[in-house]
């Protein structure tokens, strides 16, 4: 069974950090661009970051530039999203997704999705 599993979410105070993980089973992530998306209550799903399959070049939404870092460890079949200086507006369910195409913010272009992990930033 092909699936992605996210982990690492939780409750953190403003200014804190979390590291999300996205691990694949049933297929290898090496040949896929991996995107992180998030969806807050009452809002549309938005792209947060993406890392390409080869070379590892990355994209970030303006709202997270300088605070979030995406990386991949192909040996572990895992992609990470390091989130620093978290703000209450970062509160959302975070999803990872795999695309056989290149990075983009159109979630319809992604082939596989995880179930999501909740991130809550609150004092």
pLDDT computed for residue 55 by the predictor: 62
Nearest partner of 32 among 48, 56, 49, judged by Cα:
56
Count of beta carbons in the 10 Å neighbourhood of residue 65? 10
Task: Report pLDDT digits (tens) over 60-116.
Answer: 999 999 999 999 998 999 999 999 999 999 999 999 999 998 898 998 999 999 999
- How far is the C-alpha of 76 from the C-alpha of 63, rounded, in Å? 29
Q: With CA atoms as reference, report the closest residue to 18 among 29, 27, 26, 9.
A: 9
User: Which pLDDT does position 80 carry in this prediction?
Assistant: 97
H or E element in which residue 26 lies: none
Two structure tokens written together for 70: 């995406």
- Collect all residues with Cβ–Cβ distance below 8 Å to 114 and sequence separation of at least 6: 3, 4, 5, 6, 22, 95, 96, 97
Instruction: Return the closest-CA partner of residue 56 out of 73, 36, 81, 38.
Output: 73
Q: Which two tokens stand for residue 39?
A: 């969806």
Q: What is the pLDDT of residues 26-59, one digit of tens each?
A: 888 888 999 999 999 999 999 999 999 876 799 9
Mean pLDDT over residues 11-40, rounded? 95
């Amino acid at each position: 069974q092909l699936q992605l599993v996210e982990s690492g979410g939780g409750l953190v105070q403003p200014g804190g950090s979390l590291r999300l993980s996205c691990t694949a089973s049933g297929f290898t992530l090496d040949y896929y661009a991996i995107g992180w998306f998030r969806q807050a209550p009452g809002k549309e799903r938005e792209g947060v970051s993406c890392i390409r399959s080869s070379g590892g070049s990355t994209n970030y939404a303006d709202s997270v530039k300088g605070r979030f870092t995406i990386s991949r460890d192909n040996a572990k079949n895992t992609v990470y999203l390091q989130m620093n200086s978290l703000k209450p507006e970062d509160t959302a369910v975070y999803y990872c997704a795999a695309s056989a195409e290149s990075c983009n913010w159109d979630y319809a272009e992604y082939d596989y999705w995880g179930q999501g992990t909740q991130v809550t930033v609150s004092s």
